[in-house]
Structure 1
């Protein structure tokens, strides 16, 4: 059963043909979508083009890092659920939140949302992709669009083998050819959380040049090798005028899960990947607030593999993670509240 804030969405008319039947005739249309007018163009030497909002989306928050393997996708999914628990101060309604996975080569959102076997998204009568919904949140990902391998009945192992121009065009289509209104005229997401790939290449550059991004949450782990790439990622986002909302330290420490949760004295944190000193120094030097320092919690990974955000895991099962699980939940809630406070501001008119 969908939450109340999504139950009002009505199905929209759909094209009869499956998505996989759409021809991929040239690099301008790598996803094979029906033509919907001229897409925005990548800026050339003539100067930057004006950034535009995403249709039916009020605020865009990117979850990024220059480094791979730091937990961006897990943070992005759980941030989205943390935001969906917040309420609009004007209407007191829960925020409408969606998730866009922009990792073209290694999409993780389908697995983390339990949608890896959901099949291809349908197309609306206007030729837009219709988001897939689970746990009450609409999502879109390249992982939903991959064809099934000839020797398999799934697309789990299907690679994307594209050069840069194809990637740029695919990102544009994922940004501007998804119907986030879910078929209800005038409906809109309050927040779209965008899960970014690692690095400083085509995808973050395309997003930063074409879209009005309201904030970016930067994820890191304590190691120097991670922080070095994170600093590069922050510098790149600043070059394309993406505001940095805050830093989040993942796997900051480990707390013994078998130690008594009712003990008056908390167990001593173990810094398996090094102390947080260098992370905190980096945040201070760059003038970026720290949103949370999340512990390493086995249950977070286990829940993600099952397609369930950690905040939706039954409380009894989360108790197996002890104080670390409680600290993780509270840290993510705090990060979501700080992100929304930073980007809420004046409500943008939606198209």
Structure 2
């Protein structure tokens, strides 16, 4: 088991090994500071890597990442999820793993993913100690790692990302088959984490999530510019919360604005639109309950909106697969 004490910031060399992994673990590739760039490489035991980004927080990126992974897994693929949102990890909650124990280590010192819904996952949230109860409130019950903040400077974050990328055992056991696709949930913005990933890892596709508002699309344009500078393949855009269908009507209600600006943006940037997903209450309820909407039978209760959401997510997953196949020809 991983020792919680390794997260102490008082250690002189904590920034070199922020996750506290054993020293016999294979060294993750390092980003050179003054020499030439290193060549990106494959993640061990992973055939293909798909990034899910939003560049703007609060647009449903992590929810889309989880349901994309589920939709791909329903195609009889081995799929995993890596949560690289170091400061705000959401994957454990969305996958029903909020109270999961810390990951075990392999004999070689790599982290073993934690699995639910037949999908292995890894997240920073699994590695944090739980917050103690509030001493001023005897009745407080804050005791999950999801309440623990990560208060790190950039260098420690960069090292943690390198370890999460290259020191996780995705085989499913000693000598297992590994993953066909690893879905990586990126944090919002254009900071150190996507930059490090783009320099270190061979990426097969990038999916960008937005909502109809101009403030979200402005950040999408910035994110696309970053991914193009990193020479990462852009698979397409997903418009989340595009419209709402009430149970007693057939006319879409664009609660957050018409999709016209989103479509013009996609056209001007020459990026395909993979799906325009409706606003369905069950998607949020499923995420809070740890049951992805693409899996739950309650999706049938969403009426026409639920059917269109599932159909759109399924089509997006298929187009991601088609794009991967084109990349590998």
Please give the range of the TM-score, normalised by the shorter of the 2 chains: over 0.9
Q: Which residue of 1 aligns with 2:257?
A: 274
CA RMSD in angstroms comes to 1.5
Q: How high is the TM-score relative to the length of structure 2?
A: 0.93
Following the alignment from structure 1 to structure 2, what is the Cα–Cα distance between the partners of residues 320 and 144? 33
Tell me: CA distance 1:104–1:146, structure 2 relative to 1, closer, same or farther (3 Å): same
Could you give the per-residue CA deviations for residues 149-172 of structure 1, whole angstroms, max 9, x where no partner exists?
122432221100011111100100
Q: Which residue of 2 aligns with 1:226?
A: 216
Q: Which residue of 1 aligns with 2:149?
A: 159
Report the secondary structure of 1:292's partner residue.
strand
Q: Which residue of 1 aligns with 2:138?
A: none
Q: Which moved more, 1:43-52 or 1:173-182?
A: 43-52
Q: Which moved more, 1:247-256 or 1:182-191?
A: 182-191
Q: Which residue of 2 aligns with 1:321?
A: 302
Q: Which residue of 2 aligns with 1:9?
A: none
Report the secondary structure of 2:197's partner residue.
helix
Instruction: State which of 142, 150, 160 in structure 1 corresponds to 2:132.
Output: 150
1:67 and 2:56 matched = yes
Tell me: CA distance 1:250–1:23, structure 2 relative to 1, closer, same or farther (3 Å): closer
Q: Which residue of 2 aligns with 1:305?
A: 288
Structure 2: gaps of 5 or more residues:
134-141
1:236 and 2:218 matched = no
Q: Which residue of 1 aligns with 2:136?
A: none
Report the secondary structure of 1:244's partner residue.
coil
Report the secondary structure of 1:216's partner residue.
strand
Following the alignment from structure 1 to structure 2, what is the Cα–Cα distance between the partners of residues 23 and 138? 24
Following the alignment from structure 1 to structure 2, what is the Cα–Cα distance between the partners of residues 175 and 304? 25
Following the alignment from structure 1 to structure 2, what is the Cα–Cα distance between the partners of residues 346 and 253? 32
Deviation for aligned residue 1:347: 5.7
Following the alignment from structure 2 to structure 1, what is the Cα–Cα distance between the partners of residues 151 and 38? 29
Following the alignment from structure 2 to structure 1, what is the Cα–Cα distance between the partners of residues 217 and 120? 32
Structure 1: gaps of 5 or more residues:
1-16, 87-93, 260-266
Is the Cα–Cα contact under 8 Å of residues 22 and 34 in structure 1 kept in the other structure?
A: no
Following the alignment from structure 1 to structure 2, what is the Cα–Cα distance between the partners of residues 146 and 133? 18
Following the alignment from structure 1 to structure 2, what is the Cα–Cα distance between the partners of residues 258 and 19? 55
Deviation for aligned residue 1:318: 2.6
Report the secondary structure of 2:147's partner residue.
coil
Q: Which residue of 2 aligns with 1:168?
A: 158
Deviation for aligned residue 1:39: 2.5
Q: Which residue of 2 aligns with 1:20?
A: 4
1:57 and 2:46 matched = yes
Is the Cα–Cα contact under 8 Å of residues 2 and 21 in structure 2 kept in the other structure?
A: no
Q: Which residue of 2 aligns with 1:3?
A: none
Following the alignment from structure 1 to structure 2, what is the Cα–Cα distance between the partners of residues 70 and 126? 39
Instruction: State which of 127, 134, 141 in structure 1 corresponds to 2:116.
Output: 134
Deviation for aligned residue 1:187: 1.4
Deviation for aligned residue 1:27: 0.2
Q: How high is the TM-score relative to the length of structure 1?
A: 0.87
Q: Which residue of 2 aligns with 1:263?
A: none
Q: Which residue of 2 aligns with 1:254?
A: 244
Instruction: State which of 48, 56, 62 in structure 1 corresponds to 2:37.
Output: 48
Instruction: State which of 7, 19, 23 in structure 2 corresponds to 1:31.
Output: 19
Report the secondary structure of 2:187's partner residue.
coil
Report the secondary structure of 1:60's partner residue.
strand
Deviation for aligned residue 1:345: 4.0
